[in-house]
Structure 1
Amino acid sequence: MPELVVLQHLEREGPGRFAEEAARRGWEVRVCRPDRGEPMPRLGPEQSLLVLGGPMGVGDIGSPAFPWLEGEVALLQECLACERPVIGVCLGAQLLTFAAGGRVEPLMVGEPPRRACELGWGRVEWTRPAQEEPVLDGLGGGMPVLHWHGDRMRLPASATLLGSTPLCREQMFRIGHHAHGLQFHVEVSSAALERWLEEDGDYVRMALGPEGVERLRAEQAQWGEAVERQGRRLIHNLLDRVGAQLAAFSMP
């Protein structure tokens, strides 16, 4: 039976709709918490990997505060080498970029350049046609998503860019057809987002001003339904690819 192995780094940032879609397919879902000292998973032939987000970053690799980041990069490099299906979300996408030979750096805007955060709802525009990219099927020319980051990826030569925003070009990519990275979030439910706003309110206010938390709550009513509907479609498409890649990966 296929199993989605999840690397989670923070209590509030779980697999959410990815786990729901995997369960709907009858897959097993196993959450590993390297941040709590759990060992890196040993992956078998029917297992794919989902690496989630967190406030730490690629710049923290080697830090004694996050000793498990090096192990995650090594695991991602193993997955890339054997073409195991992988999905990275936010931090997970950044670690995937780094594991493949790319870079991650602070998001800078303006002249002179200044640090910026991309936080809240916005639209990602696809840079590839859906007829050539099965994961984009049924999603038109782009879709609304939830942004929550202050870094940007510089993709390796092996990556194909799939989606961008005006503020941050590198929003979604693939490496081959087995590894996909999403800088944005589609897995977060309304209830989970409320917990993010409660626990990470200082970050929101730093990025958006003193009314930032209330602004995001108000915009949830405008954006939430479309983000959920199209986000579920993207997750469905991604797990379709994972299933197809696992079938090929599992062949003797």
Structure 2
Amino acid sequence: MVRPVLVLTHAPHEGPGMISRALDGIPYGVRTVLDVAEPRLPSVADLGGLVVMGGAVDADDERNHPGLAAERRLVAAAVEADVPVLGVCLGMQVLALALGARLHRRHGTEIGFAPVDVVADDPVLAPLGPRPIVLHWHDDAVDLPPGATLLASTPATPVQAFRAGSAVGLQFHLEVEPSMLDLWLGVPDMGGLLDDEVRDGVRGDGARHLPDLVPAAVAGLGAWADAVRTRARAQG
């Protein structure tokens, strides 16, 4: 039996998106424990993989969002047990904190489609090419966790992606497909915070770049999902 993947979300509009497509045939469940002080989370021994999605909160704001501490503990245990972990945006920051890195609030805002420099070979980023144009939507940043490998960078955010053992963190959004982008641009706490010119620019850039980005992103996310399948075969 294939162990399921747990997807932790922090906002109803920031779901797994194309990650669910990459997980084709692998069971997964979605939970939100952000504001639960003592959530009942599964043992990592029962997980085929762990995904931690994005959101608007600060990754270290446990006073207002106590579930973040439980997420961090589960992520650390998953990496220790060699369970495939994927952290996206806020999820990458939770992953980095779980591995001992520091968070830098309001380090630099990046919103919209822009390139990242891929600086190391990794199966998740390889399908994107050396300087893909991806969707950014953040203003916090993290240091590279001790022992992790830097995978991608921009001048504004030196740590845009990293690998630490079985875990991959992505500050940018490979999970976004056109319908999700439309949703984000219409949500008050995302697109509603942008001025009309920026919002229209993101929408137009999405129409230009997503047709090429989506298949490459599906391939890269599929490489991560393959690690989940490999874990299942090894335990079968």
Q: How far is the alpha carbon of 1:6 from its aligned partner?
A: 0.4
Residue 225 of structure 1 corresponds to which residue in structure 2? 211
Instruction: Name the CA distance, whole Å, in 2 between partners of 1:154 and 1:36.
Output: 25
**Length, aligned pairs only:** 231
TM-score, normalized by length of structure 2? 0.90
Residue 39 of structure 1 corresponds to which residue in structure 2? 40
What RMSD in Å do the two structures reach over aligned CA positions?
Answer: 1.9
Please tell me whether the aligned partners of residues 103 and 142 of structure 2 are also in contact (alpha carbons under 8 angstroms): yes
Residue 120 of structure 1 corresponds to which residue in structure 2? 112
Please tell me whether the aligned partners of residues 143 and 230 of structure 1 are also in contact (alpha carbons under 8 angstroms): no
Identity of matched residues, %: 33
TM-score, normalized by length of structure 1? 0.85
Q: Secondary structure at the match of 1:57?
A: coil
Structure with a larger share of its residues in strand: 1
Which structure has the greater CA radius of gyration? 1
Instruction: Name the CA distance, whole Å, in 1 between partners of 2:56 and 2:123.
Output: 31
1:99/1:36 Cα in 2 relative to 1: closer, same or farther (>3 Å)?
closer
Instruction: Name the CA distance, whole Å, in 1 between partners of 2:220 and 2:204.
Output: 24
Please tell me whether the aligned partners of residues 47 and 83 of structure 2 are also in contact (alpha carbons under 8 angstroms): no
Q: Structure 1 unaligned segments of length 5 or more: list them.
A: 109-115
Q: How far is the alpha carbon of 1:39 from its aligned partner?
A: 3.2
Residue 204 of structure 1 corresponds to which residue in structure 2? 194
Q: Secondary structure at the match of 1:44?
A: helix
Mapping of 1:166-177 within 5 angstroms?
166-176=155-165
Instruction: Name the CA distance, whole Å, in 2 between partners of 1:12 and 1:231.
Output: 19
Correspondence 1:5 to 2:2: no
Please tell me whether the aligned partners of residues 144 and 226 of structure 1 are also in contact (alpha carbons under 8 angstroms): no
Residue 60 of structure 2 corresponds to which residue in structure 1? 59
Please tell me whether the aligned partners of residues 84 and 246 of structure 1 are also in contact (alpha carbons under 8 angstroms): no
Residue 111 of structure 1 corresponds to which residue in structure 2? none
Deviations 1:58-109 (A, max 9, x none): 2312x1x31111111111111122221111000110000000000110354x
Mapping of 1:40-189 within 5 angstroms?
40-61=41-62, 63=63, 65-108=64-107, 116-129=108-121, 133-176=122-165, 178-189=166-177
Q: Which amino acid aligns with 2:42?
A: P
Instruction: Name the CA distance, whole Å, in 2 between partners of 1:78 and 1:182.
Output: 19
Q: Secondary structure at the match of 1:238?
A: helix
Instruction: Name the CA distance, whole Å, in 1 between partners of 2:178 and 2:125.
Output: 24
Instruction: Name the CA distance, whole Å, in 2 between partners of 1:122 and 1:42.
Output: 38
Please tell me whether the aligned partners of residues 164 and 171 of structure 1 are also in contact (alpha carbons under 8 angstroms): yes
Q: Secondary structure at the match of 2:103?
A: strand
Q: How far is the alpha carbon of 1:44 from its aligned partner?
A: 3.4
Instruction: Name the CA distance, whole Å, in 1 between partners of 2:125 and 2:109.
Output: 26
Residue 18 of structure 1 corresponds to which residue in structure 2? 19
Q: Secondary structure at the match of 1:60?
A: coil
Deviations 1:15-58 (A, max 9, x none): 11111221x2x110111111364632334345210000100112
Please tell me whether the aligned partners of residues 123 and 220 of structure 2 are also in contact (alpha carbons under 8 angstroms): no
Instruction: Name the CA distance, whole Å, in 2 between partners of 1:46 and 1:156.
Output: 23
Tell me which moved more, 97-106 or 36-45.
36-45
Please tell me whether the aligned partners of residues 128 and 213 of structure 2 are also in contact (alpha carbons under 8 angstroms): no
Please tell me whether the aligned partners of residues 134 and 213 of structure 2 are also in contact (alpha carbons under 8 angstroms): yes
